[in-house]
């Protein structure tokens, strides 16, 4: 059994401060824990929300929660062998609480806190990890329940996305909304999750599939991912969008931003009797207001999709096999591959709404 390890990681020292690459110390894996060497990690908006204070976080904070890697060391009692390729799971279920027992592990009562203390910075300051992982790092030490074995041969920049963006987007379509062939779909917000959702809607046989964003630059990304049409989000959105469905509105509208204004926009896009699925994680103080008469008269459903209403242990390997056999194309989701030293610039691009998913890769 080895001792603590020193690795390079992307760390935010305080809210609003630019992250920087630092050396951190991770403990040796204890009973039921693993040390995973990271091969690739996605730059996700949830990390940005913790950095800027939208989501509560403790600092200093090692960023990153969407990643793939290889088991490098197993603690006592661990079952996975060294060398096993894995995807990290930022919301491992306890499998024992009331929600888990009724088949809803995405609502587990033991859900990981936004930040979890583990390890320390190079100057000895206690460190917190984003969603218990801190995966924008050369290695992590995590419970075995937080890793999911995947088949060999998956490109790391694709595999990394399975644990967050892809599982969330695909699950929202197939598990939460249960989109059927021929149903119409509108998607607001075209980050990594929104683009994964478009891909899933196309696989489900939805038509038309309308993609909506504030950036014209997202048009080509959306069409490549599976959209049949694209609109800019502005004051004319509702009227223009409804022309795609003969004035009725869409069967399904997915909100992937996490703001009250876009949730209301999704509500207005949806037909009577349709469903609005909120996928974006918003702030505590951003209140959504809907007229009571509208709720009654429209007969719409408003719900959220937490982690794609998925069981990651079962569905991540299924998604990995779909990528390997060519039935799930993730290429449109990856805007670029960068090094760890380039990760702060990737977060700047994310904040400006540029691209889909930027992926940090690590040398073997």
Interaxial angle between packed helices 192-203 and 218-225, expressed in degrees from 0 to 180 and rounded to the nearest 10? 30
Q: Closest Cα partner for 305 from 270, 260, 268, 258? A: 258
Task: Check: pTM over 0.85? Answer yes or no.
Answer: yes
Distance (Å, whole) CA 254 – CA 269? 10
Strand partners, 212: 188, 231
Domain boundaries, the chain: 5-149+330-361, 166-307
Return the CATH architecture of domain 5-149+330-361: Alpha-Beta Complex (3.90)
pLDDT of amino acid 291: 95
Look-up of token digits 């690459």 = 21
What integer pLDDT is reported at residue 116 of this predicted model?
A: 87
pLDDT tens for 182-195 read 999 999 999 999 99
Phi, psi for 85 (deg, rounded to 5): -75, 140
Residue-wise pLDDT tens digits, 230-279: 999 987 888 888 899 999 999 999 999 999 999 999 999 999 999 999 99
Please report the pLDDT score of residue 16 as a whole number.
86
Residues sharing a CB contact under 8 Å with residue 80, sequence separation 6 or more, in sequence order: 34, 71, 74, 86, 144, 147, 149
Instruction: Compute the distance between CA of residue 102 and CA of residue 106 in angstroms, rounded to an integer.
Output: 11
In the CATH scheme, what is the code of domain 166-307?
Answer: 3.40.50.720
Name residues of the chain where pLDDT drops below 70: 1, 112, 364
Same CATH topology for 5-149+330-361 and 166-307: the answer is no
Q: What is the pLDDT of residue 18?
A: 92
- In terms of Cβ atoms closer than 10 Å to its own Cβ (0-12, 13-18, 19+), residue 3 is exposed
Q: How far apart are CA 244 and CA 251, in angstroms?
A: 12
Q: Are 215 and 231 in contact (CB under 8 A)?
A: no
Residue 332: C-alpha distances to residues 190, 231, 264 (Å): 11, 18, 28
* Phi and psi, residue 299, nearest 5°: 55, 25
**Measuring CA to CA, which residue among 214, 221, 355, 206 is closest to residue 277?**
206
The structure tokens listed for 287 are 């209140």
Is beta strand 357-361 parallel, antiparallel or unpaired with respect to 33-43? antiparallel
In the chain, where does DSSP find H-type helix? 45-51, 98-101, 156-159, 165-171, 192-203, 218-225, 237-242, 260-269, 292-298, 312-324, 343-351
Q: What is the Cβ-side half-sphere exposure of residue 310, based on CA atoms within 13 angstroms?
A: 28
Closest by CA position to 40, among listed 80, 87, 82: 87
The span from the first CA to the last CA of the chain, in angstroms, equals 22
247's tokens: 């004035």
Among 24, 9, 293, 333, CA closest to 195: 333
Cα 304 to chain centroid distance, Å, stands at 14
78-95: b (≥16 Cβ within 10 Å) or e: beeeeebbbbbbbbbbee
């Amino acid at each position: 059994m080895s001792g603590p390890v020193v690795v390079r990681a992307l760390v935010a020292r305080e809210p609003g401060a630019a992250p920087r690459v630092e050396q951190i110390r991770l403990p040796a894996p204890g009973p039921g824990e693993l040390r995973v060497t990271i091969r690739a990690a996605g730059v996700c908006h949830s990390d940005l929300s913790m950095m800027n204070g939208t989501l509560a976080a403790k600092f200093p904070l090692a960023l990153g929660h969407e990643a793939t890697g290889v088991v490098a060391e197993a603690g006592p009692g661990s079952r996975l062998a060294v060398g096993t390729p894995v995807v990290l799971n930022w919301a491992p279920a306890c499998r024992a609480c009331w929600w888990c027992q009724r088949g809803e592990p995405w609502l587990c009562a033991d859900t990981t806190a936004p930040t979890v203390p583990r390890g320390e910075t190079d100057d000895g300051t206690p460190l917190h990890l984003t969603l218990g992982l801190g995966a924008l790092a050369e290695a992590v030490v995590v419970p075995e329940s937080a890793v999911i074995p995947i088949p060999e041969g998956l490109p790391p920049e694709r595999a990394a996305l399975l644990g967050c963006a892809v599982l969330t987007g695909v699950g929202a379509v197939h598990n939460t909304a249960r989109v059927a062939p021929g149903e119409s779909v509108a998607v607001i917000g075209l980050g990594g999750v929104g683009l994964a959702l478009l891909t899933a809607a196309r696989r489900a046989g939805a038509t038309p599939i309308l993609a909506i964003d504030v950036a014209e630059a997202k048009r080509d990304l959306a069409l490549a991912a599976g959209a049949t049409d694209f609109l800019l989000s502005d004051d004319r959105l509702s009227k223009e969008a409804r022309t795609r469905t003969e004035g009725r509105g869409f069967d399904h509208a997915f909100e992937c931003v996490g703001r009250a204004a876009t949730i209301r926009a999704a509500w207005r896009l949806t037909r009577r009797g349709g469903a609005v699925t909120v996928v974006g994680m918003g702030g505590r103080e951003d209140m959504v207001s809907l007229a009571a008469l509208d709720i009654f008269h429209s007969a719409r459903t408003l719900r959220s999709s937490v982690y794609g209403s998925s069981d990651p242990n079962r569905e991540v390997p299924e998604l990995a096999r779909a990528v390997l056999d060519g039935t799930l194309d993730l290429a449109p989701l990856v805007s670029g591959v960068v090094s760890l030293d380039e990760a702060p610039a990737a977060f700047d691009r994310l904040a400006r709404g540029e691209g889909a998913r930027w992926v940090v890769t690590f040398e073997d």
